[in-house]
Amino acid sequence: MSILRVFGLLIALLFAQSAQGSDDSVLTVMTFNLRYGTADDGYNSWPNRDHLVMRVFRERDAQIIGVQEALAFQLNEITAEFPHYAVIGVGRDDGKNKGEYAAILYDTRRFAVDTSGTFWLSDTPEVVASTSWGNSITRICTWARLIDRDSGVALYVYNAHYDHRSQGSREKSSQLILDRIASRAHDDPVVLMGDFNAGESNPAITALLKNPELTHTYRSVHPDETTVGTFNGFDGTSDGEMIDHIFVSPGLKTIAADIDRTNDNARYPSDHFPVWASFKLR
């Protein structure tokens, strides 16, 4: 990494932190694929890295977090460590607590929930555990309308996990989510984030960016950066594509954004890097 790149990251981080400290209109959100906690990952199994996940949560101190692949026990561990977070979401296998969540965690000191839900990325989005479009694994999107306790400003948050194999599923998932955004009950700003299993040039992502409702937070700050891989396979690799994204309404001015490459002697919190963004909410 070049000296200029390091310097730029430090400036962005310091700016975001100072802005948060002086202006409570600044909001930080993060998307983080946790890697499901029962995976037989040996050295990288959940008990060997959960402390690093907690470190990311503690140091980033985001007010809204979208997690993917989370199992119920992982969410319980996180909220036990950070009781100011509440969880929105259900397990994808039964609509209750079985299987992976694409959960939204929000800081209850900052936000209240107006309404929320989960829909399945399929032709029958209200049918629990439904699959379509060539994906064999159930895929979901969790959403919520959150209201800032101090200002009363509301925003819609969507957290999705797209299929890793079916391109048709990814493209149709984007269209379904765009339809849901267009039909939301209130004309509030939008945050869409998640593990999209698709790089920036993938039609599933370009479809989102063609929509006037959405801008890419990372590219708003780093338009020319090329080291953007967010799947690291537990080895810190950054030379792939950015597949974890945060999009926001154009009215939410992004002031800082980056990929969090936290590690401890080359042990990583997950096989994905977290991605975060800070922007003005009002």
Could you report the per-residue pLDDT of 150-208, keeping only the tens digit for each? Answer: 999 999 999 999 999 999 999 999 999 999 999 999 999 999 999 999 999 999 999 99
- The CB-side HSE value for 66 (13 A sphere, CA atoms) comes to 27
What is each CA distance from 2 to 8, 13, 139, in whole angstroms? 10, 17, 38
Share of the chain above pLDDT 90, in %: 90
Q: How many domains does the chain have?
A: 1
**Residue at 59: amino acid letter:** E
Question: What sign for the dihedral angle of Cα 253, 108, 101, 16?
Answer: positive
State the pTM of this model. Answer: 0.93
To the nearest whole number, what is the mean pLDDT of the chain? 94
| Containing structural domain, residue 10 | 3-280
- What's the CA gap between 259 and 218, in Å, rounded? 8
What CATH number is attached to the domain comprising 85? Answer: 3.60.10.10
Mean pLDDT over residues 27-31, rounded?
99
